[in-house]
Amino acid sequence: MSRFPPVSREATPFDWALLAMIVAFGGSAFVMIRMAVATIPPFAVAIGRIWVGALLLYILMRAAGRRLPPFFTRAHGRLRIRRAWRWMIAVGAVGNLAPFFLFPWAQQFIESGLAGVYMAFMPIWTIALAYFFANERLNGRKLAGFAMGFAGVMILMGPGVIRGVISSDIKAQAALLLATFLYAAAAVLARRAPPIRPRVFAAGMMIVAAIMASPAVFFIDLRTEDWSAASIVSVIGLGFFPTGLNGVLIIMLIRRAGAGFMALTNYITPLWAVAMGAVFFGETLDPAVFIALTVILAGVAISQRRPGGAKAARDTAGTGAPSQAKS
């Protein structure tokens, strides 16, 4: 565990800016998915967005003058997969491949609001896994803040969605719960990974996910003649923003501020998604949205507040915050 010192510093303005960008890109995914699946099968949308994201990340990596490491290395006269690739394969399969298929499959059987409720489990999984496996500190203040964030998501979704837990498909709900656990596990794996530059790491893991996802195309009734231009543009947008650019930003934020801090995006993203729905689809903003906003932001503030303020930050400055990999 000595390689993963606790994240003891306060989040910087740059960390908060990264978190805001991740929320904005992630929240836009709901609008783009809604437009994409209007004429394109959900699994085709998943495969398409992964490949677009992989190509974008590879171009960004090469534009920065960096390249992927060799896949194999020779040890004791035998070829073995290089250590960096083993981590990128793990994060790509756990955090990008499986959840991207589990969510669209599950949402065939349950309402999207209930899916949003299950996304709120991701931060809870993350702080638990990060505590046990990434040496991130856990205290009552952080637990209270995350609990308030979860409560805010419940308010946002409304009592009708909560009642849907009883009447909705159990297998679909189990799939969503598994997907959120995998997202959390991927965040902790990225935190524990060896020092690999974020653009290289993001490109490698997304390329792995794209290659692994490709065989699913043989089990999809594509009917490309039915695809609309709006749906195709939405798939490209999904690949660029919530899949591609967010891939780099998430790795950067995890390395800088920890998996637990990054997981806060899953409480704020639903609010952004609701706002985007109001702008693009004329959806009505219920008064509960503003109550939820207050509760969620209060929870975020509590979870990130450190005792002693600036003095505590100075006292803990020498405890070994994680080294920052340059992007």
Q: How confident is the model at residue 162 (pLDDT cuts 50, 70, 90)?
A: low
Tokens 């009642």, located at residue: 163
Kindly report the length of the chain: 327
Instruction: Give, as one character, the DSSP assignment of residue 325.
Output: P
| 265-319 pLDDT, tens digit each | 988 887 887 787 778 777 677 788 788 888 988 988 888 776 654 444 444 333 3
Residue 64 φ/ψ, nearest 5 degrees: -85, 5
CA 192 to CA 86: how far, in whole Å?
12
Q: How many CB atoms lie within 10 A of CB 2?
A: 6
Q: Is residue 314 part of a domain?
A: no
First to last CA, the chain: 25
pLDDT at residue 6 tops 80: no
pLDDT at 319: 35
Query: Within a domain: residue 164?
Result: yes
Residue 73 pairs in a beta bridge with: 80
Q: Scanning the structure block, which residue is given the tokens 């959840």?
A: 99
Residue 324 domain-assigned (yes or no): no
Predicted TM-score (pTM) of the model is 0.81
Does 51 reside within a domain? yes
Give the total number of structural domains in the chain. Answer: 1
Considering the domain boundaries, does residue 6 fall inside one?
no
Q: How far is CA 36 from CA 94, 137, 211, 226, in A?
A: 24, 40, 21, 12
Query: Residue 170: pLDDT band by 50, 70, 90 thresholds?
Result: confident
**Directed axis angle between helix 83-91 and helix 170-192, to 10°?**
150
**Nearest Cα residue to 125 out of 76, 82, 189:** 189
Give the domain range for residue 152: 13-70+80-306
